[in-house]
Structure 1
Amino acid sequence: MTLDKTLLDILACPDDHATLAYDPAAAGGAGELACTSCDRVYPITDGIPVLLLDEARRTGAPAQK
């Protein structure tokens, strides 16, 4: 399943409002959205991005500036 490009253009990280990188192959094909600034990755459940800080996982990667 893929997300609409218009939707992807308006979504932002709820923590720092940075853009999100979409990986449709992640999470067994369900897809994920990774913040381009902090180390949070947000799941996509049943085609719906879950942009809740409590649901995000941390990658452990250093933040990019």
Structure 2
Amino acid sequence: PMYNSPRTGQMYFEELYQGHHQRFYNEFGMSKLVFRRLQMELATYGGFTHTRYTTMDEQLAIFLH
């Protein structure tokens, strides 16, 4: 089974990020490297930051998913 993770939120993102590159690509439509570069660009030029309860990783993952 491909979609059987009991994790949610940041834990789910970390599972995807640390897992197989193709699964990450299937979920977000980009490689891990491109994801990090996009996050950096948004933080540098768009003021993208963590919120009180949600990391930048999780916010961007929600937007892309």
TM interval, shorter chain, is under 0.3
Structure 2 length normalisation: TM-score?
0.25
More strand by share: 1
Q: Larger relative contact order (C-alpha < 8 A, sep ≥ 6)?
A: 2
More helix by share: 2
Structure 1 length normalisation: TM-score?
0.25
Larger radius of gyration: 2
